[in-house]
Structure 1
Amino acid sequence: MSDNLSPELLALNFCKNPLCADFGSLNTANYSLSTGSQNPQIACIHCHSISPIIWPTELSNEVTEQLEHNNRGLTACTGEDCMNVGLNVQLHPNRYYAFGFSGDKQRYRCKSCQKTVVDRFSVENPNLKTHVTILALLLTGFSLKEIAAKLKIQAKTLNDHIKTMAIICRQKSSVFDHHWQNKGQLFLLGSDWSFLQPKSHNGVLWVCTGDLDSHYIAQQSLNLSEQKITTNHRFIGRDFVASINTAATAPKTKALKDITESLSVAHQERTHRNNPLHNQTQINYPAKSSLVSPIYCTSAHYLQLNQALENKEQVVLSMSFEPMLADAAMLSFNALRQKQSFDLLYQIEDENWLEGKTGSKPQLFKFDGSVEPWSLSEQWHLRGKADQRAICQLVESNLTQKQAHQLPKLSPITQYMARFHAMFKSSVNEPRRKRRPEGLLPLLDIYRAWNNLCHQENPGETPAVNAGISEKPLSLDQLLQ
């Protein structure tokens, strides 16, 4: 035990092993703190699980930076210490009052700090036709170079247009996100992650969380920062050296049990279970940005969701088998867990598993080195082998084992990420962009808004329509006007 383990530090670094008797304990006597090395660690005395320390100030800085990106360009107060910072004028009109015009654009003044802000969305988009054309070409697979040549404009001009389009899309998304957060009391969420540029080996991770009922993408984050690298523990240094330089062992067979066991072994081989970059032998470090440690990025991602859903009666979060996601979710949703309003589970299933069709009674299974309790159910067919689903309930508050096996699949989140890689393949895989991944940020903002508000999975059905927050799909003109 260490006297340096303050309540603020312990609130982020409690034991996250669901089988441990001290799971979630905030008693300092149950932990041992090691601060002698460059990477301070905390250990649970009961189950001996060891994790790198997450520092409250640095996590708060990461949350602030992610929020600043989401709010950049919106009509909202920008005062750093103001209670209204980032609160959109359209959604919080009682916090502002009209304060004349700047040219033909409406101007507002914050009632708290008296800072003025100009509403650039109070007039029609003067470049609407150009923006619609650019988006249409992007969605049909044209590269940025081809679009610039087709429209006979300079590459910088095209880049400026895309940044403006991203701001417009963030504005639209902020309004619909607000309505999505207030749509009910039960939320079935799903999370997955991927490398933003799988062929670039630049260490940039992309985390997405969406509504499994409507397929509305509620939050997406990257472990990318505009700040310069400092001596704190939030950033990955340019001299990063992987602890393991061998690829993960392939599963013995294609059976779900063997796949799950292979993933578990790969996680155990990491120096820290919540670091997916453990075997990156070389990182093409971004030239202008800094890499954030994955656990800080993911924790900030979930903390924003927790802030939006903290008063809900029940939140269920399913995720792919990745300890980084689970540790961050337990940390961020701890208050909901304590109120018995939060269920957390890993979920793996065969591709042909059918939603809405009942499987067999779940059977418990374990494998060598497994810590988490897993259960397996099957859907039988007249011909061919059965399809299987494996569930690991990390936090059980309201769902029974049978109900957990009847949850929707994670495939909408996985397909959302795969579709981005397919649609923007030329930009994602562009050689010069491997060290300039920040150039994809505007495309991600545009893509998320288009997916939620315009993309029709079935005729007339977008994620926003399915969530009950939009009457009909938006056209490209409506999205960008």
Structure 2
Amino acid sequence: MSENLSPQLLALNFCKNPLCADFGSLNAANYSLSSATNNPQIACINCHSISPIIWPTELNHEVTAQLEHNHAGLTACTSEQCVNVGLNVQLHPNRYYAFGFSGDKQRYRCKNCQKTIVDRFSVENPNLKTHVTILALLLTGFSLKEIAAKLKIQAKTLNDHIKVMATICRQKSSVFDHHWKNKGQKFLLGSDWTFLQPKSQNGVLWVCTGDLDSHYIAQQSLNLSEQKITINHRFIGSDFLASINTAPPAPKTEALKDIIESLNVAHQERTHLNNPLHNQTQLNYPAKSSLVSPIYCTAAHYLQLNQALGNKEQVMLSMSFEPMLADAAMLSFNAMRQKQSLDLLYQVEDESWTEGKTGNKPQLLRFEDSAPPWSLSEQWHLRGKADQRAICQLVESNLTQKQAHQLPKLSSITHYMDRFHAMFKSSVNEPRRKRRPEGLLPLLDIYRAWNNLCHQENPGETPAVNAGISEKPLSLDQLLQ
């Protein structure tokens, strides 16, 4: 049924097996399409890899939905059909002109569609003192209930304040994101994922990508949508049943080889490699939101990043060992791969692996039923066992194997996610919020802005300062004003 594969469909569903002779091929004759209407799949004729079909229209809807969240409340055109949609007035002043005032707030009009927008950030934050107090209490571990009691306000009033704070933080982030993506021609990125609420069993995944040099978090996405479930393949239905109702196998030992082998076995047991929800034995489906299929969420995550970076000379993307991340990255950065400007790799190492310290010459690491080759290097110590690092280069363009083993660790991304779970523990683990995860979205926006612009890993050094896009750390007042 290769005659049904249009160029648009093949652009998203090409073979993603690096060892296959047809890897990246856009020739419809190299693929076979299943006729199942409820679960259509595509298979590579050469390597027999099978994947669920990713539909272009549905992926575009997911990209639009994520962008709408990121642009919500910003001073930018909101008309979906306009070329200026989401483009901030402060960053693109040539696309707007001043159009009087609304009260004491500056008003603008889009030059393209003539839509009028009000700049709510053109005046000082009237609740700055309250917002700073709320954020300070949040960052020191107080629960929302405790903060409401301490400030003697209603829970709804507190929630309204947090939503306004999130909008202000998105505005600040959009400005610094603009400068970050324009800071150079070469980018070293890292990606990791986890469950947003690990104890909730609600199927909400959290994907983060950041700059491994500066630790600036550039993008974060959730497979959560406010849209109601419709009959398409982008959403996971509330009647979802896992294909395997067993936990992933535990590694035989703490050795890196055994850890990778157990992960590989868990991946191979999935119905589809790119679906981490395969063994979700219980799914507490969100009450007011819909779950997006993980591959659509992650592909939209990388497509936004690809669009932001534009035509860069070189992008190196390192990620934890998860096929969902690799498939989505290959799909989204395929044009860069074809131009030999993309390096894509899995990275797993011991926690005590030291950055900047050279290991021994990488050795081939073999696994049964594992197509991509791995390599292992070690850092020896005078006493105790050696620290190990394993690298799997999925796409090789500019990095040699030795250079790949000298890359920074993914720990900055992992620590960012772990810190959120620790800092907002009471909200993340609140029983009532297990089926209402959308309540954490404003906290995520606030947390990302605080991490990039205020959090000092060393005195005077925030991720934005390290990236060269900020002169000094921002105070809480400067973040929320």
TM-score normalised by the chain length of structure 1:
1.00
Residue 100 of structure 1 corresponds to 100
**What's the counterpart of residue 346 of structure 2?**
346
2:227, 2:173 → 1: CA distance?
25
The match for 2:32 is 32
Is 2:10 aligned against 1:17? no
Name the structure 2 match of 1:55: 55
Any idea what SS the aligned residue of 1:57 has? helix
**TM-fit CA distance, 1:309:** 1.3
The equivalences for 1:457-476 within 5 A come to: 457-476=457-476
Report whether the alignment pairs 1:270 with 2:270. yes
Q: Give, in whole Å, the separation in 2 of the partners of 1:403 and 1:302.
A: 24
Q: How far apart are the structure 2 equivalents of 1:284 and 1:183?
A: 42
CA drift at 1:308: 1.1
Q: Which residue of 1 aligns with 2:404?
A: 404
Map 1:22-421 onto structure 2 (within 5 A). 22-421=22-421
- Aligned counterparts of 1:37 and 1:164: Cα–Cα separation in 2: 44
C-alpha distance in 1, partners of 2:387/2:111?
58
Output the amino acid matched with 1:399. Answer: L
Q: Which amino acid aligns with 2:73?
A: G
Instruction: Report the Cα distance in structure 2 between the residues aligned to 1:324 and 1:370, rounded to whole angstroms.
Output: 16
Report the residue type matching 2:450 in the other structure.
Answer: W
Describe the SS at the equivalent of 2:440.
Answer: helix
In 1, Cα distance between equivalents of 2:343 and 2:18: 12
Report the alpha carbon displacement of residue 282 of structure 1 after superposing the two structures with TM: 1.4
Quote the offset at 1:2 in angstroms.
2.4
1:37 to partner: Cα distance: 4.0
CA distance in structure 1 between the partners assigned to 2:415 and 2:186 by the alignment: 23
- Contact residue 19 and residue 372 of structure 1 kept, 8 A: yes
Q: Helix, strand or coil: the match of 1:382?
A: coil
Counterpart AA for 1:218: A
Distance between the aligned counterparts of 1:406 and 1:304, measured in 2?
28
On the 8 A contact 1:244/1:278 being kept in 2, the answer is: yes
The CA distance in 1 between the partners of 2:422 and 2:392, in whole Å, is: 31
Q: 1:284: Cα distance to partner?
A: 0.4
Structure 2: which amino acid aligns with 1:228?
K
The alpha-carbon deviation at position 398 of structure 1 amounts to 0.3
Q: Distance in 2 between matches of 1:97 and 1:75?
A: 13
SS at match of 1:440: helix
Task: Please give the alpha-carbon distance, in whole angstroms, between the structure 2 residues aligned to 1:35 and 1:272.
Answer: 17
- The one-letter amino acid of 1:263's match is L
In the other structure, the counterpart of 2:445 is 445
Distance 1:142 1:250 in 2: 35
The separation in 2 between residues aligned to 1:33 and 1:145, in whole angstroms, is 53
Aligned partner of residue 247 in structure 1, secondary structure: coil
Equivalent pair of 1:215/1:412 in contact (CA under 8 Å): yes
Post-superposition shift, 1:419?
Answer: 0.1
Query: Could you say what secondary structure the match of 2:3 adopts?
Result: coil
Aligned with 1:3: secondary structure? Answer: helix
Q: Distance in 1 between matches of 2:249 and 2:217?
A: 32
**Count of residue correspondences:** 481
1:233 and 1:470 map into 2 onto residues whose CA distance is: 42
Percent identity between the two aligned chains = 89
Distance 2:401 2:25 in 1: 24
**Which stretch shifts more, 358-367 or 41-50?**
358-367
1:445-471, CA deviations, whole angstroms, 9 ceiling, x for partnerless residues? 000000000000000000000000000
Structure 1 counterpart of 2:134, which letter? I
SS at match of 1:192: strand
TM-score by length of 2: 1.00
* Cα separation, 1, equivalents of 2:320 and 2:37: 32
1:372 and 1:203 mapped to 2: Cα distance?
A: 28
Deviation at 1:247, TM superposition (A): 0.8
Measure the CA separation in 2 of the matches of 1:162 and 1:36: 46
1:199 is aligned with what amino acid?
K
With 399-408 and 36-45 compared, the bigger mean Cα shift is at 36-45
Gaps in structure 2 of 5+ consecutive residues: none
Distance across 2 between alignment mates of 1:70 and 1:7: 30
8 Å contact kept, 1:310–1:336: no
What is the aligned partner in structure 1 of residue 429 from structure 2?
Answer: 429
Quick one: which amino acid aligns to residue 183 of structure 2?
Answer: K
